[in-house]
């Protein structure tokens, strides 16, 4: 008899209990998620439905009035195949609600990345696959289309890219830079690569230009606004956590079967979420 694999409960697991067995008054969250069939809604501590069940997934919890909840609905689409058949797929569209259950962003984004340390700033990608940076009031900090790709903000900085990568090959105009939370370019768009640091709890990153590779301290570059280039390979880059981060790509073949970490998958796709939908 084949031995059944037993997977442990981990930090990304949600425990479901019936409402009759749950004291909502003791819950510290301002909005309490619940399920009805396949959909997710939100209730308050009195058990009153604040947001009707309409979402397929939610991320983050609301403990404070300054917190926002990222929600998702399924977007179904298809492509014609030979013989008149249509291959159908689905991917999530992300939106945002506040502690009152009010809609801040309609679920219309393929990508909705919160800034770490700034609850009012989001990197977004719309249905046209165009990136922008938005304030919580919808104003554009970085307008749609200025960059071909924008990462989330961490340490007050975000990686940005112009040009594209096709089948793993960069075009000659593919360059990287760094911007601050006001959209100002802190590093100009002239680097061949900038290593990922969003959500990695790193204080440094590596920038590459031609044959020159340099490690920079993020807080210092934010204050300096420029980098003194050298050809030394510094040991400042914190690699202790590399290869130990899991969960961002849970459910994908690359992570669940092959066992690749979030870091490895990020680097394999050059930090470009445009390719993640085809990760398997």
pTM above 0.85, yes or no: no
Structure tokens given for 255: 């992570």
**How many Å separate Cα 257 from the centre of its chain?**
22
User: What is the per-residue pLDDT across 166-190, written as a single tens digit (0 to 9) for each?
Assistant: 544 555 679 999 999 999 999 999 9
Q: How confident is the model at residue 274 (pLDDT cuts 50, 70, 90)?
A: very low
Q: Please state the domain count of the chain.
A: 1
Residue 6 phi, psi dihedral angles, 5° rounding: -110, 120
**How many Å separate Cα 201 from the centre of its chain?**
15
Q: What is the dihedral of CA 245, 250, 253, 255, to 10 degrees?
A: 10
pLDDT of residue 224: 55
Q: Is the pLDDT of residue 99 over 90?
A: yes
User: What is the per-residue pLDDT across 29-78, written as a single tens digit (0 to 9) for each?
Assistant: 999 999 999 999 999 999 999 999 999 999 999 999 999 999 999 998 88
* 68 found inside a domain: yes
pLDDT of residue 85: 87
pLDDT of residue 259: 61
Asked whether 40 and 55 are in contact (CB, 8 A), the reply is: yes
* 173 found inside a domain: no
85 or 48: which carries more pLDDT confidence?
Answer: 48
**Domain range for residue 32?**
22-109
Going by C-alpha positions, the residue among 225, 227, 234, 269 that lies closest to residue 248 is: 269
Section 196-200 average pLDDT: 94
* 240 found inside a domain: no
Q: Is 36 exposed, middle or buried (CB count within 10 Å of its CB: 0-12, 13-18, 19+)? A: exposed
The DSSP call for residue 218 is: H
Going by C-alpha positions, the residue among 159, 147, 153 that lies closest to residue 121 is: 153
* 105 found inside a domain: yes
């Amino acid at each position: 008899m084949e031995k059944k694999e037993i997977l442990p409960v981990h930090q990304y697991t949600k425990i479901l209990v019936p409402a009759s067995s749950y004291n909502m008054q003791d819950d510290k969250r301002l909005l309490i998620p619940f399920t009805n069939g396949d959909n997710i809604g939100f209730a308050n501590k009195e058990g009153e439905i604040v947001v009707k069940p309409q979402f397929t997934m939610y991320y983050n919890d609301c403990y404070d009035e300054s917190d926002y909840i990222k929600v998702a609905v399924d977007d179904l689409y298809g492509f014609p195949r030979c013989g008149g058949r249509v291959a159908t797929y689905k991917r999530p569209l992300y939106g945002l609600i506040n502690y009152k259950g009010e809609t801040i962003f309609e679920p219309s984004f393929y990508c909705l990345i919160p800034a770490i340390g700034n609850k009012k700033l989001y990197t977004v990608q719309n249905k046209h696959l165009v990136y922008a940076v938005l304030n919580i009031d919808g104003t554009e900090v970085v307008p749609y289309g200025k960059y071909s790709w924008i990462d989330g903000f961490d340490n007050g900085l975000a990686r940005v890219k112009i040009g594209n990568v096709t089948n793993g090959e960069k075009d000659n105009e593919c360059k990287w830079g760094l911007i601050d939370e006001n959209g100002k370019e802190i590093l100009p768009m002239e680097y061949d690569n900038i290593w990922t640091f969003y959500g990695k709890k790193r204080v440094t990153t590596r920038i590459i230009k031609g044959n020159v590779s340099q490690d920079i301290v993020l807080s210092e570059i934010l204050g300096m606004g420029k980098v003194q280039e050298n050809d030394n390979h510094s040991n400042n880059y914190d690699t202790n956590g590399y290869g130990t981060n899991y969960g961002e790509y849970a459910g994908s073949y690359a992570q669940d079967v092959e066992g690749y970490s979030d870091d490895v998958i990020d680097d394999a796709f050059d930090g470009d979420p445009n390719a993640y939908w085809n990760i398997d």
